[in-house]
Structure formats: structure tokens, C-alpha cells
Amino acid sequence: MLLKVGDLARRCGLTVRTLHHYDAIGLLIPSARSEAGYRLYDRDDIARLHQIQALRRFGLSLADIGTVLARPDSSLASIVQQQIDMLDKQIEQAMELRDRLSRLQGRLLRGDEPELAEWLTTLERMTMYDKYFSQDELARLPLYRAGKSTETEWRTLVDEVRAVMERGLPPQSDEAQGLSKRWIEMIERDTDGDPRLLAKLNAMHLKEPSVQAQTGITPDVLAFVLQANAETKLRIYAKYLSPEEFAFMREHYGKHTYEWPELIGALREQLEQGSAPDAPAVQQLALRWLSLFRSYAGDNPETHARIRLAHEKEPELMAGSLIDAALLGFVKDAVAHLKPR
């Protein structure tokens, strides 16, 4: 049985443009063509698409998926096993919630008044993540699937950051910057490097006092960590900029920190959908990119050139940015297509 691209798109919930993009980048090349030149997909193609979609749910980029599928030991059976493991974790979490609700119900039927903390914990588990993430996103969010060891690791790190703050150490201190490095590495791990998930996680921590109380990640702690991380980048930029340029950057760098993950995520979405760099939606995102860049770089092309040189010579500047080479190339193409204003 052979399926045309439109039929396959409808059956699997993707767009035709997405399947065309997968073909263009060599990720899913149809096994046949009709006499009229239409793409035709067979059983093996559909099996490969299953692998692609499963890996996407694990948060991998298209480039990483191509690398995984190119491995000799890659198999559909192993990927299905990973899906089963993920579903098992979700079932475990659902059963934990069910047990908690059953205990609450039992106390209510006996006429007992549940403790306030018990009510709040149950309500948080029922609604908090669902308020910010879709079910597909939760399936791709490692932090949501993590166990007690990860919670303990985060609590330990938060306590260490809080201790540094209470000792009055500045974000520029080596100890603070070391903690910020650990923080960024754990964020990348627990969001699987997906800026879309990071943007929503940031929003949840900034807007929900109950989450702050539960995790200890309060706005002041988060601001301290981000400032410490910024200081590691500023220390590098200082080697490439004039005193005047650096003074401007220091004053404005980090003012839009929380806006970058959302923008990077939106651009990644366009890239993965196969959008052209000159598409209107991409162009709007490129304009926003330039606006955020100029907010700390200024408008001088010579300054921009020195910043680009710093990025070419200092890989550490991109650490924790969640920007890979494919996305950066996409942004550069989009910016190149912008019409002069």
C-alpha cells in the first residue's frame, strides 16, 4: 500500500509542508513517485516516520534525529520501548495522584477535615503543569518525568545559591558563576535543550507562588543565577569591545533575558515546519531578534562586527543559549532577507 503525501499528512496529523521539509533535508525521503511525480510512501517510510515523531516527542531537534536514525544500532523496537517507558512514568504519576485523591475521599467520607497542606499539594499536582504545558509538551519535558533524585538535586543547588546570596557574594564571584554554570547545565538537561519548554517553565516559576514555595526557586534566586551567568559572558565580551561599547552592553545586557527563550522557540518551530526564511512569520521573528540584539549591542555596525568576532572565537558565549548551528543559520538567512526600513 502506497500513500500520497496528503493522505499521510492527514493520517498522522502533520502538515504537507512538514513532510516536504523532511524530504528536503533527507530525513524522510519517500520510497516512490507516481507517474505524475507525486510523493508515495510505503510501509518502511511510515515506520521511519513513527521513529521521527517518537524522537520529536523526546525533544530532539531534526538534526539530532537524523544523527540517531543514521546509527547502525537504531531500531524502531528500541524507540517504541522508550515510548513505553515514558508512558509508564506518566501512569505512575497518575496513580500517585489517584492514591492521593482516594485518601482525601476517604477522609471526607469519614467526616474528617483534610489538612490544608494536603489539599494544596493535591490541587497543585492536578493543575499546575497542565496550566502551562500541553500533554505533548509534558511528554517531552524531562523535569516533569523526573524522580525524587532530580528534585533533591535541584533543592540542593537552590540551597547553595541561597547560601551564597546570604553571604553577600556578588554574581561576579567565582563561586556564584560556578553555581550558575551547574544551573544552566541542569536546565538544558531537564528541558532537553528545548527553548519552548524553558520559556514555559520560566513563566510557571515566575508567576506561581506555590511553585516558588515548593521548589525554592523564587524570582530573586533566579535573577541572581541569571546575572551570574551573564557575568561569565560579559567577562568574555570585554576582551573584544571598547570601554564605551562594553559600558553600554553591561548596562543593558540581560534586560530581556526571559524573552529570548520564547523567541528562539518560535524560530525553531518555524524551522522545523519547513518555513522559508523570507516567510512573513519568520521575518517578524527576525525583526524581533534584531531588536533584542540591538538592545544591548547598540546600532553601530562596527560594534556588531566585534561581537560576531567574539562569537566566532569564544564558543562559551553560546553555552546555555539553546541555539544550535542549524537555527543560527536559519536566523542569519532570515535577517539577510529583511527589507531595509
Q: Do 208 and 315 belong to one domain?
A: no
Position 75 in a domain: no
Q: What pLDDT digit, counting tens, does each position of 218-265 carry? A: 889 999 999 999 999 999 999 999 999 999 999 999 889 999 999 999
Is residue 248 domain-shared with residue 335, that is, in the same domain? yes
Examine the domain organization and report whether 160 and 206 are in the same domain: yes
Give residue-wise pLDDT tens across range 25-64: 999 999 999 888 889 999 888 888 888 887 776 666 787 7
Residue 251 domain-assigned (yes or no): yes
Residues in the chain: 341
Q: What is the CATH number of the domain that holds 34?
A: 1.10.1660.10
**Residue 263 sits in the same domain as residue 161:** no
- Element housing 275 (H / E): none
Q: Are residues 284 and 210 in the same domain?
A: no
Residue 321 CB: number of other CB atoms within 10 A? Answer: 17
Name which of 263, 283, 282 is nearest 271 in CA terms. 282
92 plus 141 within the same structural domain: no
109 and 122 both lie in a single domain: no
pLDDT, position 76: 64
State CA 108 to chain mean position distance.
41
pLDDT at residue 78 in the model: 72
How many domains does the chain fold into?
Answer: 4
Q: Does the pLDDT at position 121 exceed 60? A: no
Q: Is residue 53 part of a domain?
A: yes
Domain limit, last residue, from 213, 237, 261: 237
- Given a cut of 70, whether residue 132 has pLDDT beyond it is yes
Mark whether 152 and 248 lie in a shared domain.
Answer: no
Q: Is the pLDDT of residue 288 over 90?
A: yes
- Evaluate if residue 97 carries a pLDDT over 80: no
Task: Tell me, yes or no, whether 187 lies in a domain.
Answer: yes
Cβ–Cβ < 8 Å for 186, 179: no
- Whether the pLDDT of residue 104 is over 80: the answer is no
C-alpha cell at 54: 517518537
Cell (9 digits) for 87: 508512558
Residue 24 belongs to some domain of the structure:
yes
**133 falls within a domain:** yes
In this prediction, residues 13-31 reach a mean pLDDT of 88
Strand 3-4 relative to strand 32-33: parallel, antiparallel, unpaired?
unpaired
Is there a domain that residue 76 lies in? no
Looking at the DSSP assignment, which residues form a beta bridge with residue 41? 3
Q: Do 149 and 249 belong to one domain?
A: no
Is 129 in the same domain as 93?
A: no
Q: Give me the chain's average pLDDT, please.
A: 85
Among residues 181, 203, 237, the one where a domain terminates is: 237
Tell me: do 122 and 221 sit in the same domain.
yes
Using alpha carbons, select from 23, 50, 38, 5 the residue that is nearest to residue 274: 23
Residue 46 and residue 97 in one domain: no
Residue 271 lies in a domain: yes
**pLDDT of 107 over the 80 cut:** no
Distance CA 134, CA 168 (A): 40
- Structure confidence by residue, pLDDT tens digits, 168-197: 999 999 999 999 999 999 999 999 889 999
47: domain range? 3-70
Cβ atoms of residues 317 and 236 within 8 Å? yes
**Where does a domain end: 237, 252, 271?**
237
